[in-house]
Amino acid sequence: MTDPIVVGLVANRLHSLLQEQQTALVSTAFSPVVRESLDLACGVFDSAGRMIGQSTGGTPGHINAMATGMAHIVAAYSPETLVDGDVLITNDPWMTAGQINDLTVATPVFRAGRLVAWFASCCHSPDIGGRILSAAATEVFEEGLRLPILKLLHAGRPDEVLERIIRSNVRTPDETIGDIYAQVAGNQVGARSLVRLLDEFDLPDIDAVAAQIMDRSEAALRSALAGLPDGRFTAAMATDGFGDDPLELRAAVTIDGDAIAVDYAGSSPQSPYGVNVVLNYTRAYTSFAIKAALAPEVPHNAGSFRPVAVTAPRGSVLNCVDPAPVASRHLVGHFLPSLLFEALRPALPDGLPAASADALWMTVWRGGGPDETQPFTLTVFGAGGTGARPDKDGLTTTGFPTGVRAAPTEVLETLTPLVQVRRELRTDSGGAGRWRGGLGQVVEVRRRGDRAWTVNANIDRVLHEAPGAVGGLPGARGAFVDARTGADLPRKQLVRLDPDARVRLCFPGGGGQGPPTQRPVDAVLSDVVNGYLTIEAARATYGVAIDYVGPADALVRSPDTYRVDHDRTAELRRRA
């Protein structure tokens, strides 16, 4: 057995070199999807493809799916078929991250002629062809270019034929290829640092140390599970689905000693449209949810997957069958942590947040008509509010369970003729409770010039709001509308816009936690002063009577212009 002190030192160094890998990737990326939003994951793996660690950025759907997907990559190319300088690539949804827009690039690491480890990254491509990224496709074949596990580089030499194929099938060839080679560069940086690390500690490979790192994570998660009551816990949740066909998600969680099993039997059958989830992605967000609930501080690696068993019926929306459409799989997969938190609430009554806005809102904007002087395709991310926590309010406009960020307005307006006319917090959107849900936001977009344009809004919680917990109220539903008329626009499919169109997105809020009348009066007053809550909502949902006593036409209203009527408040709360 390797000296435990050496294991600890190497583990810390691996964390540092994973940050080097991610920094190199982000610094050399072409698209704002990677460079600004960090829609990515970086990881290091032992010689058999088992994940040892991940970088701190990125999203669980990428890193956890890539972690299990590496088994397919390692199986496709045995060590004797690889040489130093080879690089592999795939975007097969059933092998990696569940949609073909996510490209996984894996690099074997050689030392003294022997394969000793792997570095890999998974990034959302700015475009992969097919339909503009949406849920409207009825087969995966319509969703763009699907790459099996292939060699992108042969002993350091790019595969020019493969590169030409990719360039010919995407709307953003320079950005797409640029991001792919940024992934290659990031892996190379990690690989060089790992070889230096092995030399420094005089280790023949990383496998022995990796095994102990994984075992420690497994033991820590099993210890946390052993502290919970055994039993079977269930929950159900509705999502918007596609069009007028909502989806139901069901989970049964069984805790048995130091192991946990999650079964999604009873969930809706797979959809005819692209909101389906492959089992790999279902496992990714399930394992993330269990670890986040029970042992968030434990290093994340293959060991933390071992105590968690995940099953879903074949042909269900959480285990769809090839060639089901899957482009918008996050609009279902992102709901799994909130679903599992609800199921586990009886076992952890004081330790879990309420439901969040959950599904990341992704809009794809396009200007590419025959008379477009500078065609553009731009993917933009945004988040609603998270659910209220057991002892804190929810986070406002913060992605959960994803870690993807919103790009700055200045970046979007520099790269395209889009203009964000409005970007502000959405008053009254957070679910009321002893602890308030996080707020959503309002974003309004137009374009410069006199050209037509399009948008596809991959969004959810427009029909089904985030429920509250333990007596808390739900967050506000989202909306996607024509800003000029207020009319609803079609979701999850291409919308054609005239040059003068304005699009408004109203992001949903997170659910509240605990009875609203238990929220301290001062906290309600602070929410009103800060614009998070209207006076009317304070009275109706919290039972707090607040009066504004300043000038009616004041644009800036200071805290001392608001007064709490304590007698009316006591009466309102007495009636509640």
Residue 353's pLDDT is what? 97
Residue 370's pLDDT is what? 83
Residue 244's pLDDT is what? 85
C-alpha–C-alpha distance, residues 482 and 486, integer Å: 5
**Under a CB-based contact definition with an 8 Å cutoff, are residues 501 and 482 in contact?**
yes
What tokens appear for 154 in the block?
């042969």
Residue 349's pLDDT is what? 80
Pairing state between β 308-311 and 259-263: parallel
**Under a CB-based contact definition with an 8 Å cutoff, are residues 468 and 354 in contact?**
yes
Local confidence band at 368 (pLDDT 50, 70, 90 cut-offs) = confident
C-alpha–C-alpha distance, residues 58 and 403, integer Å: 6
Q: What is the pTM of this model?
A: 0.96
Residue 166's pLDDT is what? 98
C-alpha–C-alpha distance, residues 399 and 386, integer Å: 7
**Coil, strand, or helix at residue 52?**
strand
Amino acid at 236: A
pLDDT at 451 over 80: yes
Which range among 44-58, 247-261, 362-376 shows the weakest confidence by mean pLDDT? Answer: 362-376
**Under a CB-based contact definition with an 8 Å cutoff, are residues 347 and 373 in contact?**
no
Residue 457's pLDDT is what? 98
* High-pLDDT (> 70) share of the chain, %: 100
**Under a CB-based contact definition with an 8 Å cutoff, are residues 493 and 538 in contact?**
no
Local confidence band at 340 (pLDDT 50, 70, 90 cut-offs) = very high
> What's the mean pLDDT in 173-191?
98
Contacts of 556 (CB under 8 A, 6+ apart): none
Neighbours of 236 (CB within 10 A): 13
> What's the mean pLDDT in 230-240?
98
User: Alpha helices, DSSP H only, in 398-520?
Assistant: 409-415
- pLDDT digit string (tens) for 93-135? 999 999 999 999 999 999 999 999 999 999 999 999 999 899 9
**DSSP secondary structure string, 509-552?**
PPPPBS-GGGS-HHHHHHHHHTTSS-HHHHHHHH---EEE-S-T
Residue 199's pLDDT is what? 96
pLDDT at 264 over 90: yes
C-alpha–C-alpha distance, residues 252 and 262, integer Å: 6
- pLDDT digit string (tens) for 502-535? 999 999 999 999 999 999 999 999 999 999 999 9
**Under a CB-based contact definition with an 8 Å cutoff, are residues 32 and 407 in contact?**
yes
Angle, helix 60-76 to helix 279-294, in steps of 10 degrees: 130
Residue 27's pLDDT is what? 97
**Under a CB-based contact definition with an 8 Å cutoff, are residues 310 and 288 in contact?**
no
- pLDDT digit string (tens) for 306-322? 999 999 999 999 999 99
**Under a CB-based contact definition with an 8 Å cutoff, are residues 361 and 383 in contact?**
yes
pLDDT at 1 over 80: no
- pLDDT digit string (tens) for 193-202? 999 999 999 9
Residue 576's pLDDT is what? 84
C-alpha–C-alpha distance, residues 205 and 287, integer Å: 28
Local confidence band at 374 (pLDDT 50, 70, 90 cut-offs) = confident
Three-state SS annotation for 369-395? CCCCCCCEEEEEEECCCCCCCCCCCCC
* High-pLDDT (> 90) share of the chain, %: 95
Residue 112's pLDDT is what? 93
What tokens appear for 243 in the block?
């069009």
Local confidence band at 350 (pLDDT 50, 70, 90 cut-offs) = confident
- pLDDT digit string (tens) for 48-58? 999 999 998 87
Instruction: Identify the CA nearest to 94 among candidates 269, 290, 314.
Output: 314
Local confidence band at 371 (pLDDT 50, 70, 90 cut-offs) = confident
Residue 176's pLDDT is what? 98
**DSSP secondary structure string, 222-275?**
HHHHHTSPPEEEEEEEEEEEETTEEEEEEEEEEEETTEEEEE-TTSPBPPSSS-
Domain ranges (residues) in the chain:
4-216, 353-513, 520-575
Instruction: Identify the CA nearest to 57 among candidates 87, 25, 29, 32.
Output: 25
**Phi/psi of residue 503, nearest 5 degrees:** -115, 135
Through-space distance between the first and last CA atoms of the chain, rounded to whole angstroms: 64
